């Protein structure tokens, strides 16, 4: 899996949008960008994933640059419960040996009241 | 649709005892993964199983640890003769397939093992 780079920590005010960046400059054409988060003392939670088009679901939006070398996860209206470590992971979809997720250190997002 | 179910959520074992952690994957999922998270550290892959087969155990410690996913019943992670260094959160995850679609991996809430 390609390596990703994320800021160690970020702060966001409650009710505002949280924009979490991720660099994946060595991403391959068949690698997807996945986002997970881990709230303290809980299991990792799947958020969203995408290949090259922007994606949106009930939790977040994922914006992938045209060259696919970076992406941004957007939480449109952050709440205190969104305080967590957010992981950006690139992974081949389609089997082979890259079936597992490899977690880095992620970004600790702290949402402040 | 129930998520990935792990039990027990918390387990305390004395040094030298055995720990058994169970994981029931999401309905329709036949691929199971185990991860370990040591205190203040990241999530580390341990093992990947399909029904009755261990596909990749490259992250498993060579001794005392074993995993199985029988044809019927939950996946089991077994730790024999536990030591204090085994104290960690153990997360199970599952996916529907390994193929092009449906292989998003979903995690359970974890089993917290404390060795005293």
Residues (pLDDT < 50) of chain A are none
Q: Is B50 on the interface with A (CB under 8 A)?
A: no
Q: For chain B, give the percent of residues with pLDDT over 70.
A: 95
Residue A50, token pair as written in the block: 């995408």
- Which of B43, B98, B109 comes nearest A99 by C-beta? B98
Q: Residue B97 has what pLDDT? A: 74
Measured between beta carbons, the chain A residues lying within 8 angstroms of B109 are 42-43
Q: Phi and psi (nearest 5°) for B29? A: -95, 130
Q: Is A104 on the interface with B (CB under 8 A)?
A: yes
CA dist B107 and B68 (Å) reads: 18
Judged by CB atoms closer than 8 Å, whether chains meet at B91 and A45 is answered as no
Q: Are B9 and B111 in contact (CB under 8 A)?
A: yes
- Convert the pLDDT of each residue in B46-95 to its tens digit: 999 998 899 999 999 999 999 999 999 999 999 999 999 999 999 999 99
Q: How far apart are CA A26 and CA A32, in angstroms?
A: 12
- Return the pLDDT at B98: 65
Half-sphere exposure of A74 toward its Cβ, with a 13 Å CA cutoff? Answer: 12
pLDDT at B22: 98
Residues with Cβ within 8 Å of residue B69, at least 6 apart in sequence: B32, B49, B50, B51, B52, B53, B54, B75, B76
Residue B102 has pLDDT above 60, yes or no: no
């Amino acid at each position: 899996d390609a390596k990703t780079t994320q800021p160690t920590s970020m702060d966001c005010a409650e009710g505002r949008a949280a924009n979490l960046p991720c660099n994946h400059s060595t991403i391959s054409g068949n690698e997807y960008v996945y986002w997970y988060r881990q709230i303290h003392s809980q299991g990792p939670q799947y958020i969203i994933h995408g290949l090259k088009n922007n994606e949106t679901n009930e939790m977040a939006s994922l914006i992938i640059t045209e060259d696919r070398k970076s992406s941004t996860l957007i939480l449109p209206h952050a709440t205190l419960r969104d305080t967590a470590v957010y992981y950006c992971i690139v992974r081949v979809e389609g089997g082979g040996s890259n079936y597992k997720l490899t977690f880095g250190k992620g970004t600790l997002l702290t949402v402040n009241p | 649709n129930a998520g990935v179910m792990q039990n027990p959520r918390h387990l305390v074992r004395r040094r030298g005892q055995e720990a058994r952690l169970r994981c029931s994957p999401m309905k329709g999922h036949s691929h199971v993964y185990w991860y370990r998270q040591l205190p203040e550290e990241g999530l580390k892959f341990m093992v990947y199983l399909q029904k009755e087969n261990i596909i990749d155990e490259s992250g498993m410690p060579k001794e005392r640890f074993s995993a199985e996913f029988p044809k019927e019943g939950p996946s089991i992670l077994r730790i024999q003769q536990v030591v204090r260094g085994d104290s960690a959160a153990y997360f199970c995850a599952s996916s529907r397939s390994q193929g092009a679609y449906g292989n998003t991996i979903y995690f359970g809430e974890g089993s917290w093992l404390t060795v005293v």
